[in-house]
Amino acid sequence: MENNTKFYNKWPFHVAVIVFSIVSDQLTKLWALSRFTDETGAYTYEKIPVIGELVRFQLVFNKGAAFSSRPQDLMPFLPPWLFFLLISIVAAFALAWFYKSIDKRDYLSRLGVVMILGGAVGNFIDRMRMQQVVDFIDCDFPDFIMTRFPTFNVADSFVTVGVALVILSPVFLRKLHKQIKEEKEAEKKNEEIKNEG
């Protein structure tokens, strides 16, 4: 376990995760665009069952931000490409700061941030290249919540899993987080004593 923890905390592994998430996302999107284009070059919007109606592939273009929200509704004075560029730069700096602030022993949170970054870059490439994001994975959802889950892509999957890892890290690494908290409290107390003296 100790060796695995050290391996997950090494920057080459984190860089590899980012590269893998971007490459796998872009390759699957290229496949989707090719698969759903007919001989005339027009996009087809057929539905391909993968696991019956539970999981299927269909081509959808998201011209907005998360959950199809439109940037022009938030900042109408900015062209969409500039809006996404600025948001992506701010998000990248925020994620880098958050990554740096995480205790190095908390490998789950660090891996989660890396996955979020990789997924965000994958969708950012789409927005800069096509002014829209390619989505093609369509999953069913319990009908008492919604009819179907919003169509998504591999980048979205990396972001979702990354967020889940960050949120669940205090649950899975409870002892470590307790230890980190105690160390910070002791450090703060020592600092206060030092300042008083």
98: Cβ contacts below 8 Å, ≥ 6 apart: 113
Spatial CA neighbour of 121 closest among 97, 74, 153, 149: 153
Q: Is 106 a catalytic residue?
A: no
Compute the Cα dihedral for 13, 15, 17, 20 and give only its sign: negative
| Active-site residue identified among 25, 106, 138, 156 | 156
- Strand runs labelled E in the chain: 48-51, 55-62, 133-139
- Respond yes or no: is residue 140 known to be catalytic: no
Which candidate in 106, 135, 138, 143 is catalytic?
Answer: 135
Angle at 106 between CA 104 and CA 107, to 5 degrees: 90
Cβ–Cβ < 8 Å for 4, 105: no
| Nearest Cα residue to 59 out of 23, 24, 35 | 35
Residues with a catalytic annotation lie at 135, 156
